[in-house]
């Protein structure tokens, strides 16, 4: 999860142990400004999420769906443009000291891209739902956003600009000896 989240919306493991907890989150203007700054966006006009946190082993499983209206800078034209983005995620979390926590790998780690992510082992009893929404919003963002219709046109490889081409032109201007 992203370091210290600019959007803290917390549910505790104790609440979840009694049964599923549903939350509808909506970021206010100061929070959206902080999230936009963290993610390198011009602005975030709206950010909402619907989450269900259900018991899982001795921890919780978070099912989240979010939607955001964002303004970002086009990597081709450097103009700001608005875009809608949405996403879904499932994250499993465990309390500190859980016997279900994944064992620390001593040497080699084999990664299976099709396998589920291992659960997050949290530092305390708080599950920061807003932090998970911000993390997954960041994963949905294109690192090189392009305004619709913006097209990169590579500069011409103009041989006339080379220093040797300029010298040839100078030599042509000299009168023959």
Bigger pLDDT: 117 vs 2 = 117
Report whether 16 contacts 47 (CB < 8 A): no
Q: What is the mean pLDDT of residues 25-47?
A: 97
SS3 137: helix
pLDDT number for residue 121: 92
Give whole-number Cα distances, 155 to 73, 161, 163, in Å: 22, 12, 18
pLDDT at 12 over 60: yes
144-170 pLDDT, tens digit per residue, is 999 988 887 776 665 556 777 767 777
Record the tokens describing residue 98, joined without a space.
């859980």
Report whether 119 contacts 93 (CB < 8 A): yes
**Domain limits, the chain:** 10-173
63-111 pLDDT, tens digit per residue, is 999 999 999 999 989 999 999 999 999 999 999 989 988 877 556 667 7
SS3 117: coil
Record the tokens describing residue 110, joined without a space.
């084999």
Give the global pTM: 0.80
């Amino acid at each position: 999860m992203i370091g210290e989240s600019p959007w803290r919306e917390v549910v505790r493991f104790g609440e979840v142990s009694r049964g599923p907890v549903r939350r509808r989150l909506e970021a206010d203007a100061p929070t959206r400004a902080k999230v936009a700054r963290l993610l390198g966006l011009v602005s975030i006009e709206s950010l909402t999420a619907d989450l269900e946190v259900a018991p899982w082993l001795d921890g919780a499983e978070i099912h989240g769906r979010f939607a955001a209206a964002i303004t970002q800078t086009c990597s081709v034209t450097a103009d700001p443009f608005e875009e809608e983005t949405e996403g879904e995620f499932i994250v499993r979390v465990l309390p500190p000291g859980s016997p279900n926590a994944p064992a620390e790998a001593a040497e080699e780690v084999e990664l299976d891209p099709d396998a589920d992510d291992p659960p997050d082992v949290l530092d305390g009893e708080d599950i920061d739902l807003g932090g998970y929404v911000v993390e997954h919003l960041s994963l949905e963002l294109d690192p090189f956003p392009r305004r619709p219709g913006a097209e990169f046109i590579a500069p011409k490889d103009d041989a006339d600009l080379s220093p040797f081409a300029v010298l040839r032109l100078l030599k042509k201007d000299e009168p023959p000896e």
